[in-house]
Amino acid sequence: MSLEDRVRTLEETEAVRRVLAAVGATCDAPYDAAAFAALFAEDGVMDLMEMGVYTGRAAIQEFIEGMRTKVSFTMHYWDGYAIDVNGGDATATWYGFETPNLNGTAHFGGLTHDATLKKVDDRWWITSLGQNLHFMSPYDKGWVKQRVTDQTA
């Protein structure tokens, strides 16, 4: 690889990190559904396992808007990225934890995430976003006593 190609790879790795940071930020304070969905490619897919699979920006935005009504406050801590860039394609995995208030009760969430991205028209777009929900526990119980609270209930 030429020096310029190597610099470009470093730049794109940083650019992908920034897009993923923006995804997390739209979910704080809580959930700007339109801004979240706008980071996806038109046919992008969000796979939330038991919470459903959502294809396309409209479906993604609708689901996130539904989450908003149940979450009065949250912060998304996303880091521990492993990003691979290959030309105009990228994959990433990372760790996330969250501190949502669900129906007035503080919760701790521990998740890992994965994404695929594509660069089109000089921008990176999310083509898929997935998560593994390890726990989403009421704060006063912790993940051994209650591993998951159904967030959509």
Partner 1 sequence: MAQTLEQRVLLLEEINAIDRLKQEYARTLDRYDTGEAFAALFTPDGVLDIGPMGRYEGRDAIAGFFNGVRDTLSFFLHYTMAHAVDVDLEANTARGTWYMWEPATRNDEAYLVAITYDDEFRKVGGRWLFTLSRSTYHFMCPYDKGWVEQRLPPD
Partner 2 sequence: MAARSFSERTVEQRLQRLEDIASIRYLKHTYAILMDAGLCHENEAWPDAPFLALFAPDAVWESNVHGRHEGVAALRDLFTGWAARLTFAKHHTIAPSIDVAPSGVEATGHWYTWETITSGGAPIWLAATYNDDFVKRDDGWRIQHIRSNIQFRAPYHEGWAAEAPLPQMGE
Give me the residues that bind partner 1 (CB under 8 A), please. 3, 6-7, 10, 13, 77, 79-82, 93, 95, 97, 108, 110, 112, 134-135, 142-145
* C-beta of 44 vs 109, nearer to partner 1: 109
d(CA 129, CA 90) in angstroms, rounded, equals: 12
DSSP label at residue 136 = E
d(CA 66, CA 79) in angstroms, rounded, equals: 26
One-letter amino acid identity for 52? G
Distance of closest approach, residue 140 Cβ to partner 1, in angstroms? 9
Radius of gyration of the chain (CA): 16
Distance of closest approach, residue 61 Cβ to partner 1, in angstroms? 29
The torsion angles phi and psi of 96, rounded to 5 degrees, stand at -140, 140
* C-beta of 33 vs 83, nearer to partner 1: 83
Distance of closest approach, residue 10 Cβ to partner 2, in angstroms? 5
From the list partner 1, partner 2, none, partner contacted by residue 106 (C-beta under 5 to 8 A by kind): partner 2
Q: Give the three-class secondary structure for 57.
A: helix
| Per CB under 8 A, 104 contacts partner 2 | yes
Structure tokens at 86: 């290959």
Beta bridge partners of 128: 45, 116
**Count of positions on this chain that bind partner 2 (CB under 8 A):** 23
Footprint of partner 2 on 43-102 (CB under 8 A):
73, 75, 77-79, 97, 99, 101
